[in-house]
Structure 1
Amino acid sequence: MIKLYHNNRCSKSRCALEYLEEQHKDFEVVDLLKEKLSKSDLEELLKLLDMRSSELIRKEDAFFKENFGGKNYTEEEYLDIMLKNPRLIQRPIVVKNGKAVIGRPLENVEQLLG
C-alpha cells in the first residue's frame, strides 16, 4: 500500500496527490496537519527516508525562522519541533514497500512507484 504524507496547503503536496490519483494507484493519505504523527511514526519515516531530523525539517520556512532560527539544535530537538509543528515537515512524503521519498521534485515519486 502506498502512503502519502500530505499537507493540502502545499502546492507540491497537492501535485503528488493529483499524480497518484491520475495513476489510479491505491493509496492512503495522512494529513500532516490533522493527523498528528507520533514520535515513533516520525522516527520510522526518517529511517525509511534515510535522513536525520535536521534534514527533514523546513529550515527555510518563515515560521521556523521566526520561532527557531539562529539557534543550533540536536537531532532530538529537531524531532520535537516537528512533532509540535507538523507544518515544518518536508512534504509530500510518499512511502511504498519499505521505502520513502520526499516528492519534490515529482520525479522522486515516479521513480519510487516505477
Structure 2
Amino acid sequence: MQLVSSDWVLFYNSQDPLGKKTRAYAESSSHKLNTQDLSFANLSSTTLRVILDSLGLSAKDLMNKAHPFYQSQLRGKEYDEEGWLNVLKKNSFLIKYPIVFKKGRVYLCSTPNDIFKNLN
C-alpha cells in the first residue's frame, strides 16, 4: 500500500478489542478513512519504516509483547532492528496499538478515543 499524504488510513487488528473499538469510533466520525485490518494484511517494510521513523520507535517497541504469539515464539529472542522489522512485516497483527496515518503524519491510538483527537 502506498501512503499518500492526503490519505487518512487506520491500521488496526480486528482480533483485538482495542482495534475493534477504534475502528467503530472511526466509522462513527464523518471522516472518510481507509481501514487496513492487520489480522489479514501485512505491512510492507517501507510502510513500517515510515511509521517507525515518524513515531521515533523501534520495531520491537511497537510490538504487543503480551500477545500469545509473541510469548510463545519470540519472547527471549534477540534480533537486530532489521530482524524485528521482518518479524513485524510478517506478523503485523503484533502491532500494539491502532495507527492512524493522516496527511503525512502518524499517530498511535492507545485508547479508542484517541481516534477523535487524531482525526480532527
Q: Same fold (TM over 0.5)?
A: yes
1:33 equivalent in structure 2: 39
Query: Any idea what the Cα deviations from partners look like across 1:26-62, whole Å, max 9, x if unmatched?
Result: 1001121322221111111112222111211112212
- Answering whether residue 58 of structure 2 is matched by residue 70 of structure 1, we say no
Is the Cα–Cα contact under 8 Å of residues 57 and 78 in structure 1 kept in the other structure? no
- Answering whether residue 82 of structure 2 is matched by residue 88 of structure 1, we say no
Structure-1 separation of matches of 2:26 and 2:90: 28
Once the two structures are superposed, the pairs formed by residues 43-62 of structure 1 within 5 Å of their partners are 43-62=49-68
Higher helix share: 1
Query: Any idea what the Cα deviations from partners look like across 1:41-99, whole Å, max 9, x if unmatched?
Result: 11111122221112111122121111111122221111111112222122311111222
Of all paired residues, the percent bearing the same amino acid is 26
Return structure 1 stretches of 4+ with deviation > 3 angstroms: none
Q: Aligned to 1:4, what secondary structure does the other structure show?
A: strand
Structure-2 separation of matches of 1:96 and 1:90: 19
Gaps of 5+ in 2: 1-6
> Which is worse superposed, 44-53 or 19-28?
44-53
Structure-2 separation of matches of 1:87 and 1:36: 8
Size of the alignment, in residue pairs?
114
